[in-house]
């Protein structure tokens, strides 16, 4: 059985909810990633911050990334997967919620992240095609 822990990339780091978006952008650059899990004061997942969130949700609307926090950008219910979950559970979670990055948790600690690149390295072409079709499919009524 292939697990989430087998396909994730290690070294994922939290960005605390109180940190500013400019600090988040710096951390993304240092880690060479496009997304960071957001943690509350108890190191519980409270969201995911993407580079696109910073650009579209802050900079493009004229806000100062040095004054907006990661927590202010956290919307919706954050999704995650246990490190011991089967890869089929990973695919289900990502497809069901149409997400492209999934934090991996082990014993309530962040241990990694699964991204599109990780899936591309570990899935068959058919599995990857099905995943992409489900995640990128247009919502009903949208062009």
- The domain ranges of the chain are 4-136
Residue 7 pLDDT grade (very low, low, confident, very high; cuts 50, 70, 90): very high
Q: Which CATH class is domain 4-136?
A: alpha beta
Q: Say if residues 13 and 110 touch (Cβ distance below 8 Å).
A: yes
Tell how many helices (H) and how many strands (E) occur in the chain: 7, 7
Report the predicted TM-score, pTM, of the whole model to 2 decimal places: 0.84
Residue 142 pLDDT grade (very low, low, confident, very high; cuts 50, 70, 90): very low
Here the tokens at position 21 are 């978006």
């Amino acid at each position: 059985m292939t697990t989430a822990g087998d396909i994730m990339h290690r070294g994922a780091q939290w960005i605390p909810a109180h940190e500013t978006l400019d600090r988040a952008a710096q951390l993304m650059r240092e880690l060479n990633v496009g997304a960071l899990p957001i943690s509350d004061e108890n190191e519980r997942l409270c969201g995911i911050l993407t580079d696109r969130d910073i650009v579209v949700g802050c900079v493009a609307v004229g806000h100062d990334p040095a004054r907006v926090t990661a927590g202010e950008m956290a919307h919706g219910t954050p999704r995650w997967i246990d490190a011991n979950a089967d890869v089929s559970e990973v695919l289900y979670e990502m497809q069901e919620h149409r997400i492209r990055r999934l934090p991996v948790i082990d014993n309530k600690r962040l241990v990694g992240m699964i991204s599109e690149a990780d899936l591309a390295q570990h899935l068959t072409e058919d599995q990857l095609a099905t995943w992409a079709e489900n995640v990128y499919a247009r919502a009903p009524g949208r062009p």
